[in-house]
Structure 1
Amino acid sequence: MEKIAFLGLGRMGLPMARRLKDVGHELRVWNRTPGRAEDLDATDDPVEAVRGAGVVVTMLADRVALAEVAGRIAGELTPGTLWVDMSSVGPEAVAELAGQLPSGVGLVDAPVLGSVGPAASGGLTVLAGGAAVDVERARPVLAALGTVVPCGGPGSGAALKVVVISAIVGGVAVVGEALAVADAYGLPAELTAGVLGSGPLAGLLARATSIEADFPVRLAAKDVALADGGRVLAAVAEGLNSRPELADRDLARYVDALRAEVVAAAR
């Protein structure tokens, strides 16, 4: 097992780093905000974290954070180092990162599908893009975190993540509005859920009404915006961004807010 530098200990990054430690990987961690990893070998300097590491894993909030970290550490990486970016930043940001890396440093884009629970248990789906040799080298690390899905060349993992998360978030928003329409008609919630849950929308209904998931509205809006899609996705992103009070709440709470508006209007 190669020494790992893990940079970014947010909602997903921290349980992922702990998971890698639990399965036996040696790692040094860094987070922009200190004090989140007292049980891990942490440093307050990202350059110190990557020194001597064979694999650098980043799990950062957005492309701005990724570019900032890359600006601090890219020049310190030596040939043979492999950078595995697991952030949800889109293929353009991955291409920008590749352009910053010194010759001989490999890059795999490997964003994930799943929430905090699967991150801690190794139950994520990992969408891996990059040169085949780099993806295979990264596989022992990625497989500890979940099921690895090779997607193709550089940027393909990041691209597929944008596609899938746009469908999920957009679908949850549509199901949420459908539930609000049902409330407006006065339909029993159990009846509506029973019919929706018996067909192809079952998974989206479960996500729209979840009380266990932890995917903040602000990150859902950011991920949908990466698609730069048409009217539907643009409307979904606008709706999510219109709820700043829900920014750090799970996506399902956005659905709750839509339904609460209908109830309040009916009074």
Structure 2
Amino acid sequence: MEHIAFLGLGHMGAPMARRLLAAGHPLTVWNRTAEKTAPLVAEGAGAAASPADAVRDADVVITMLAGPEALDEVTDAVAPALRPGIHWIEMSTVGPDAVRQLADRVGEFVTLVDAPVMGSTDKAAAGTLGILAGGDPTGVAHVLARLGSVTRTGPLGTGAALKLVLNASVITGIAVVAEALRLADTLGVDGDTARAALANGPLAGAVARAFAEDVHFDTALAVKDLALATRAAELPATEVALAQLRRVAEPGTDLSVAAARIRATAK
């Protein structure tokens, strides 16, 4: 079983790392907030004091970080400690430019796969994430299979690109649902009736996510994802959704909280 270094133990990273540990992989974990490593250490993982210490003896590195800036910082730390032949699975939502920059920095002796995921904390815990794999994931396919089902998207960077496409559509859709319900409230339509009607239409998925419980997608990360998307292309509707999210977002709260605030407050 490959020795895996897992860097980033947020709402998604921790349950993903736990699945790999339960599967029998020797696991070393690192997180910027060191206290978050304690539950996994209690279950048998090793904790590293730094990203470089985490990857020094690893066969596979997995990063699940907050965004491009965090990935840059971790890369600065780990690049000198990477062994030739190591596999790096980059699973954060960072966009294709960050993936290509990472590939340039680590060089050909590292096999890099960009493999961002679709699904929230419930799917991370159950091992049923949708994994969008760019590059050649063959050497780590069995590792990814512990976390969910893999869709090969094409060359390196295409997984990260498709993740932006999907996240932009989902997050923007949630903002549309919230505004549709505000319109219903203004026009005197019963809220439950409006919600049920929307849930039976083409926005069904966005409605379900806007009211989801027991899952977590930090509104600050949603803002980051839409910002990455709008920097990549001219997206007027997404720009509006981004402005709405920036107005109501409170870091640490789920997207459902942002949707409720968009519904309740005027511009």
**TM-score with structure 2 setting the length:** 0.93
| 8 Å Cα contact 1:75/1:101 also seen in 2 | no
Letter in 1 for 2:262: L
Tell whether 2:128 aligns with 1:151: no
Q: Equivalent residue for 2:182?
A: 180
Tell whether 2:79 aligns with 1:79: no
Q: Equivalent residue for 2:94?
A: 89
Tell whether 2:120 aligns with 1:115: yes
1:98 to 90, 99, 103: 103
1:251 to 255, 259, 262: 255
Q: Equivalent residue for 1:209?
A: 211
Tell whether 2:73 aligns with 1:43: no
Identity between Structure 1 and Structure 2 (%): 46
| 8 Å Cα contact 1:179/1:259 also seen in 2 | yes
Q: Equivalent residue for 2:139?
A: 137
Gap runs ≥5 in structure 1: none
Cα shift readout 1:233-265 (whole Å, capped 9, x = no counterpart)? 111111111124x22211111111122226xx9
Q: Equivalent residue for 1:17?
A: 17
1:242 to 221, 242, 247: 247
1:103 partner SS: coil
Tell whether 2:70 aligns with 1:68: no
Letter in 2 for 1:222: K
Q: Tell me, in whole angstroms, the C-alpha distance in 2 between the residues paired with 1:61 and 1:17.
A: 16
Q: Tell me, in whole angstroms, the C-alpha distance in 2 between the residues paired with 1:203 and 1:235.
A: 20
Q: Equivalent residue for 1:54?
A: 59
1:29 partner SS: strand
Q: Tell me, in whole angstroms, the C-alpha distance in 2 between the residues paired with 1:193 and 1:165.
A: 22
Q: Equivalent residue for 1:261?
A: 265
Q: Tell me, in whole angstroms, the C-alpha distance in 2 between the residues paired with 1:78 and 1:43.
A: 17
Q: Tell me, in whole angstroms, the C-alpha distance in 2 between the residues paired with 1:230 and 1:256.
A: 24
| 8 Å Cα contact 1:109/1:158 also seen in 2 | yes
Q: Give the 3 Å change call, closer, same or farther, for CA 243–195 of structure 1 in structure 2.
A: closer
Q: For residues 193-204 of structure 1, what are the structure 2 equivalents within 5 Å?
A: 193-204=195-206
Runs of 4+ with deviation above 3 angstroms: none
1:151 partner SS: strand
RMSD: 1.4
Q: Tell me, in whole angstroms, the C-alpha distance in 2 between the residues paired with 1:164 and 1:261.
A: 27
Letter in 1 for 2:60: V
Gap runs ≥5 in structure 2: none
Q: Tell me, in whole angstroms, the C-alpha distance in 2 between the residues paired with 1:206 and 1:37.
A: 32
Q: Tell me, in whole angstroms, the C-alpha distance in 1 between the residues paired with 2:115 and 2:18.
A: 18
2:131 partner SS: strand
Letter in 2 for 1:209: F
Q: Tell me, in whole angstroms, the C-alpha distance in 2 between the residues paired with 1:9 and 1:212.
A: 18
Letter in 2 for 1:153: P
Cα shift readout 1:210-252 (whole Å, capped 9, x = no counterpart)? 22221011101101111124211111111111124x2221111
1:107 partner SS: strand
Letter in 1 for 2:240: A
Letter in 1 for 2:96: P
The total of aligned residue pairs comes to: 259
| 8 Å Cα contact 1:6/1:58 also seen in 2 | yes
| 8 Å Cα contact 1:78/1:102 also seen in 2 | no
Q: Tell me, in whole angstroms, the C-alpha distance in 2 between the residues paired with 1:149 and 1:62.
A: 22
Using the TM superposition, name which of 199-208 and 106-115 deviates more: 199-208
| 8 Å Cα contact 2:248/2:262 also seen in 1 | no
2:5 partner SS: strand
Q: Tell me, in whole angstroms, the C-alpha distance in 2 between the residues paired with 1:27 and 1:175.
A: 41
Letter in 2 for 1:208: A
**TM-score with structure 1 setting the length:** 0.93
Cα shift readout 1:77-134 (whole Å, capped 9, x = no counterpart)? 122101110000000000110111043111000001111111111011111001x3xx
